A and B are shown apart, each in its own frame.
Chain A
Amino acid sequence: MTVNGNKRKFAMYWAASCGGCEIAVLNTHEKILDVDANFEVVFWPVAMDAKYKDVEAMEDGSILLTLFNGGIRNDENEHIAKLLRRKSKIIVAFGSCASEGCIPGLANLSPVGEIVSTAFHTLTTDNPNEIYPRSTFDVPEGELHIPTLSSVLRPLDQVVDVDYHMPGCPPESHQIAAVIELVIKVIHGEAELPPKGTVIGAGNSTVCDECPRARNVKSIKAFKRIQDIAPVDPTLCILEQGVPCNGPATRSGCNARCPQVGAQCIGCYGPAAGVMDYGARLITAFSSVIDANEPDEIEKILDGIPDPTGQVYRFNLAGSLLKANRSAWSKEQV
């Protein structure tokens, strides 16, 4: 698969992201040297100084592999997503933001006007002249532009055709190393790429499967917050102790690292295989362990979950069936 004896091209880009995915790639430690040995890194803002215009100048399809993390929040994210799609043979929705929206997807619970006005009016923000960002701004020397926000944040596959998904916030470094290893084997003709659309770098079961805690038949009489049950019993399933743990709906691959240290799974590895809507699956899981049949009793138990929408859609709101709170779509678009 060599092209004129040159190394294959690699790119990694962040849209509305935090940089954690980039750090996770750097945290593959020596594996980064394998990337260097097998690829020419052509665009990776965290690590090298290539510019957007350099990507525009590349030939279509000339990048073999692009790892795209971050959600699509504004028209620049969308433009670069489409640009990199054109320039890349394989594009991976890398990490939870690109795969399902992740934490920034929680912005979809509010209309974007509210998001901007809150950001520019916090308790610790002085904004007496009511200055807000504008996509076009005139200065004496010319016109300045910043991207336009879209009404909701979208995962990558709602904007471009995605070849693979790699879940996690961030994807575990050992999983990233395994994927790099696989791609290098593919380049050398020693392995085949998985079918398009496969979720890579993750398991095929749920976090519960990887969790070492003891599990029994559950009958929850009350949901609690983790600070209310401290200390957490280190041997027993956290859900059984009354704290909503998202393990039952969350894809395996992380070795249940949070439950292993006494924290409930918050669901960063996204939906398990075969789950169409992550929140719906969790609603079912939590409902099945409630030990009550009378509506009043059930409601009282449910009162123990202070933020049900955030609990079941923490990482997956933008990628869910509903995608956003109704208020997030401006009236003009309805």
Chain B
Amino acid sequence: MTQRISIDPITRLEGHGKIEIFLDDQGNVANTYFQIPELRGFERFVVGRPIEEMALITNRICGVCPEAHNMAASKAADAAYKVDPPRTGKMLRELLYSAFYCADHTTHFYALGGPDFVMGPDAPVAERNILGVIHKVGLEIGSKVIPVLRSRVG
């Protein structure tokens, strides 16, 4: 008799997903299925929108990495208009992207994936999250980490 374990939803990442694990009679994993229970349709509804809006629409694909989508859309617009931005423009883009990189990786470590490592994978759900990490490492360190996230605001 196959045992079935559902992980629903998966957490600490952007997006929806669920995992079905089937165990065999010996209790070993027989098969695992990863499923995506969402589809918003960006591929279709961007068709017909003005090109200068692509950066503002596709960045709504993900609120954790909007800068990445914005950058891709901006570069696509460059390609469509066959232009090469001036050096200052490229440097501004690099500046934005570097700030995003720092904030995004910090977000991932402290809010998303990190807590499983800092608190340990067997820690209770109520502690295995960013608030649990702040309790563990102390408010002093927590209040130093938080301002790094400020870099991306505005």
List A residues at the B interface (Cβ < 8 Å).
14, 16-24, 26-27, 29-30, 32-33, 36, 40-41, 44-54, 73-74, 76, 102-104, 106-107, 109-110, 112, 114-116, 118-119, 122, 133, 139-142, 144, 146-147, 149, 153, 169-170, 173, 225-227, 257, 266, 306-307, 310, 314
Contact = CB atoms under 8 A, between A and B. Distances in A.
Given A18-B63, A49-B11, 8 more contacts: A16-B38, A19-B14, A48-B129, A73-B40, A76-B37, A107-B44, A146-B37, A147-B37
Interface string B120-154: 00000110111100100001001100110110111
29 contacts: A14-B16, A18-B14, A18-B66, A19-B14, A19-B64, A20-B62, A20-B63, A23-B63, A32-B146, A33-B134, A45-B9, A45-B11, A47-B11, A49-B125, A51-B7, A73-B38, A106-B49, A118-B44, A119-B44, A139-B31, A141-B2, A142-B22, A147-B38, A170-B63, A225-B50, A227-B52, A307-B48, A307-B50, A310-B49
Given A49-B128, A50-B11, A118-B44, A23 B107 contact: yes
B130 A47 contact: yes
Interface in B2-21: 2, 4, 7-9, 11-16, 20
Contacts of B36: 146
A36 B146 CA distance: 14
Contact of B153 (A48, A50, A147, A173): A173
B43 A21 contact: no
A19 B56 CA distance: 15
A317 to B, nearest CB: 9
A103 B12 CA distance: 23
Contacts of B47: 118
B41 interface: yes
Given A29-B149, A103-B60, A122 B43 contact: yes
Given A45-B9, A115-B44, A307-B48, A19 B37 contact: no
A19 B44 CA distance: 21
A108 to B, nearest CB: 8
A54 B45 CA distance: 35
B14 A140 contact: no
B61 interface: yes
A27 B150 CA distance: 7
Interface residues of B, number: 61
Given A30-B143, A141-B31, A144-B33, A104 B41 contact: yes
Contact of B14 (A46, A76, A118, A144): A46
Contacts of B13: 46
A110 B48 CA distance: 11
A69 B95 CA distance: 30
Contacts of A26: 107, 111, 130, 149
Given A51-B9, A146-B35, A118 B154 contact: no
Contacts of B147: 29
Nearest to A54: B125
Closest 6 CB pairs of A and B: A20-B63, A115-B41, A107-B41, A48-B129, A141-B22, A19-B14
B62 to A, nearest CB: 5
B53 interface: yes
A49 B113 CA distance: 11
Contacts of B8: 51-53
B40 to A, nearest CB: 4
A140 B33 CA distance: 12
Nearest to B65: A19
Contact of A19 (B62, B126, B146): B62
A257 B139 contact: no
B40 A16 contact: yes
Given A18-B63, A19-B15, A29-B147, A48 B45 contact: no
A47 B12 contact: yes
A76 B11 CA distance: 16
